[in-house]
A and B are shown apart, each in its own frame.
Chain A
């Protein structure tokens, strides 16, 4: 199965700033998924990132708040913009490969 390197693993950020999370996959994949897990909650899909086109956002998530880049088939970034304490969550990327889903190690974000 694919191997994903996700960075950073954790960060503490000031409100009003932005943080960019990176995911690097060791193989080419068509779709990458970005999830958010708020404290005590299950994972919620933010958006699906396809190479060469704009990401598709789920209800409740907008591009201005969570811009996504997908410059090639092995890399994607998610930016959490103009952060507030409510953005404190774990953010994960995922890919759907031939052998099932692979997840990044997660980014634990705390906004103060």
Chain B
């Protein structure tokens, strides 16, 4: 079982739809990362969150540390949101992150006009 698991693996939506991507992890972490990877391969960090909720434009990320679960929501989706979304957890020892990330498998999102 992977330490970080995402669902769904593939997601197709129509423009304007509300989208949710889920991430569950089995290790104790202090923060979780949501990343976006475009077809060229480059990765952009969207959120780093350790509790509650963060919002940036149409993107919202939530995390429940006790349940070891996080969600990424996209409101009013647009074709330019089409990308791979990846959640990642830092590897930690004794409560201290030593800088390496464990990645989920990624969710391939396609938004049709």
Q: Using CB atoms and an 8 Å cutoff, list the residues of chain A in contact with chain B.
A: 1, 9, 31, 33, 37, 42-43, 45, 48, 90, 92, 94, 96, 99-108
A37, A43, A48, A108: which contacts B99 (Cβ < 8 A)?
A48
The docked-state distance in angstroms from the alpha carbon of A65 to that of B41 is 22
A1, A90, A101, A104: which contacts B33 (Cβ < 8 A)?
A101
Are B48 and A43 in contact, CB atoms less than 8 angstroms apart? no
Are B86 and A33 in contact, CB atoms less than 8 angstroms apart? no
The docked-state distance in angstroms from the alpha carbon of A109 to that of B97 is 30
Are A42 and B106 in contact, CB atoms less than 8 angstroms apart? yes
Q: Does B105 contact A (CB under 8 A)?
A: yes
Digitize B27-50: 1 where CB-to-A-CB distance is under 8 Å, 0 elsewhere.
000000101000011111100100
Residue of A nearest to B106 (CB): A42
20 contacts between A and B (CB under 8 A): A33-B99, A33-B100, A33-B101, A37-B41, A43-B86, A43-B103, A45-B100, A48-B99, A92-B41, A92-B42, A92-B43, A94-B43, A94-B101, A99-B48, A101-B35, A103-B43, A103-B45, A106-B40, A106-B41, A107-B41
The docked-state distance in angstroms from the alpha carbon of A96 to that of B41 is 19
The verdict on A90 contacting B100 (CB below 8 Å), with A100-B33, A101-B33 known, is no
Are A106 and B48 in contact, CB atoms less than 8 angstroms apart? no
The docked-state distance in angstroms from the alpha carbon of A1 to that of B106 is 23
Are B103 and A1 in contact, CB atoms less than 8 angstroms apart? no
Contact residues in A for B104 (Cβ distance below 8 Å): 42
The docked-state distance in angstroms from the alpha carbon of A33 to that of B97 is 14
Are B42 and A105 in contact, CB atoms less than 8 angstroms apart? yes
The verdict on A105 contacting B99 (CB below 8 Å), with A42-B105, A42-B106, A100-B33 known, is no
Are A90 and B41 in contact, CB atoms less than 8 angstroms apart? yes
Contact residues in B for A90 (Cβ distance below 8 Å): 41
